[in-house]
Amino acid sequence: MPNRLGVRDLTVAGKRVFVRVDFNVPIEDGEITDDTRIRAALPTIEYLRGQGARVVLASHRGRPGGERRPELSLAPAAARLAELLGTPVPLAGDCVGDAASEAVDALAAGAVVLLENLRFHAGEEANDSAFAKQLAQLADAYVNDAFGAAHRAHASTAGVAKLLQPAAAGLLMESELRHLGDTLENPERPFLPVLGGSKVSDKIAVISRLLDVSDGILIGGAMAYTFLVAMGRHVGDSLVERDKIEVARDLLIQALELGKPIYLPIDHVITQEFSATAETRVAYRDTIEDGWEAVDIGPATRAMYGQILERAKTVVWNGPLGVYEIEPFAHGTMSIATILSTLDATTIIGGGDCVAAVEMAGLIGGGDVTDSRTYRALTTAMEAGKPRRHGGRHLDSIATIPEYCQTYVDIYQDMLSNGYRPAAPRDRRNADIGLAVGGEVNEGLSLARYHRILMHRHHFAVGPLRQMHHD
Domain borders along the chain are 7-172, 187-350
Indicate left, alpha or beta for 97 from its phi (over 0: left) and psi (-120 to 50: alpha).
left
b (16+ CB within 10 A) / e for 21-50: bbbbbbbeeebbbbbbbbbbbbbbbbbbbe
Helix, strand, coil percent content, the chain, rounded in steps of 5: 40, 15, 45
> What pLDDT does residue 160 have?
94
Give the three-class secondary structure for 377.
helix
Q: From CA 377, how far away is CA 396, in angstroms rounded?
A: 14
Note whether 7-172 and 187-350 share their fold. Answer: yes
CATH of domain 187-350: 3.40.50.1260
Give the closest residue to 350 by CA, choosing from 459, 218, 436, 449: 459
Would you call 195 exposed, middle or buried from its count of C-beta atoms within 10 A (0-12, 13-18, 19+)? buried
Residue type, 400: T
Q: From CA 13, how far away is CA 43, in angstroms rounded?
A: 17
Q: What DSSP string runs through 284-331?
A: ETT-PPTT-EEEEE-HHHHHHHHHHHTT-SEEEEES-SS-TTSGGG-H
Give the closest residue to 453 by CA, choosing from 418, 427, 426, 425: 418
Give the closest residue to 118 by CA, choosing from 151, 89, 155: 155
> What pLDDT does residue 435 have?
31
Q: From CA 413, how far away is CA 422, in angstroms rounded?
A: 12
Contact 314, 192 (CB under 8 A): yes
- pLDDT under 50 in the chain at which residues? 1-3, 351-366, 391-392, 415, 418-471
Q: From CA 393, how far away is CA 446, in angstroms rounded?
A: 15
| Class in CATH terms, 7-172 | alpha beta
Helix and strand counts by DSSP (H, E) for the chain:
17, 20
> What pLDDT does residue 137 have?
96
β-pairing, 27-28 with 217-219?
unpaired
